[in-house]
Amino acid sequence: MPEQLISMEVVFFASLKQAAGLSRLEVSLPGGASVADLKMHLSQTVPGLESAMHHAVVSVNYEYAEDSVILPDGAEVAIFPPVSGGAVPTLCLITDAPLDANAIISQITQPTTGAVCSFTGLVRGVTRRGEPHDTQYLEYEAYQPMAEAKMRQVADEIRARWPTVEGIALVQRVGRLYPGTPSTMIACTAPHRDTGVFEAAHYGIDRLKEIVPVWKKEIGSQGEVWVEGDYHPKTGE
């Protein structure tokens, strides 16, 4: 009976991409192969990786994976060097101060930064949820210690999915905010625009809306209402 093979796409980043001389590679291995088997295969078949794989970090389908992890068929496997401590600035903040986009971006910009992608949410003056109605102001409330911890989790998730992202900022303003006022900002920096920085920022705002405990009360001519979402985070999320 022929040996069953599994296939995966391997993507390389940073110094491992430079050593391999390529950014992507299709690999087939016997079923049941582990991360350790893949690392050995790459060190034997890709010139330049012979001495580089011993310190490589591996993620499988966007999750960090140790050598013992069994590889699933069709996986996306990322190979990259350890993230340098302190070299990747992160800003996770709940604040009642006005948001200064330039100041926020400056805190996550490095000499290697060549691209910044940011999203800024504004308070709407007219809301089209249900019947269109005016908004006089919003009152934002946050469970600050948990909110900032979950922001850091979102930043970690972004880096696991897009290892080439350098700086990350997730900032949410609380208190009374009037129409046209920036209420939230997500920004990601990277050396180049084609390294996932757009997708990372998009993921950041979507994930913030899911798991970061921030609420808003909408006050208008029709009264006031707490705006609540439908997503219920799972245990440990």
Average pLDDT, the chain: 88
Residue 60 CA to chain centroid, in angstroms? Answer: 16
179 pLDDT band, cuts 50/70/90, is very high
pLDDT of residue 83: 59
110-124 pLDDT, tens digit each: 888 999 999 999 999
Show the domains of the chain with their CATH numbers: 5-80 (3.10.20.30), 90-227 (3.90.1170.40)
Most confident of 44-58, 120-134, 176-190: 176-190
Whether the Cβ atoms of residue 183 and residue 172 lie closer than 8 Å to each other = yes
The 10s digit of each residue's pLDDT in 212-235 is 999 999 998 888 888 776 677 777
- Nearest C-alpha neighbor of 35 from the set 9, 60, 5: 60
Alpha-helix residue ranges (DSSP H) falling in the chain: 14-20, 35-45, 101-107, 144-161, 197-211
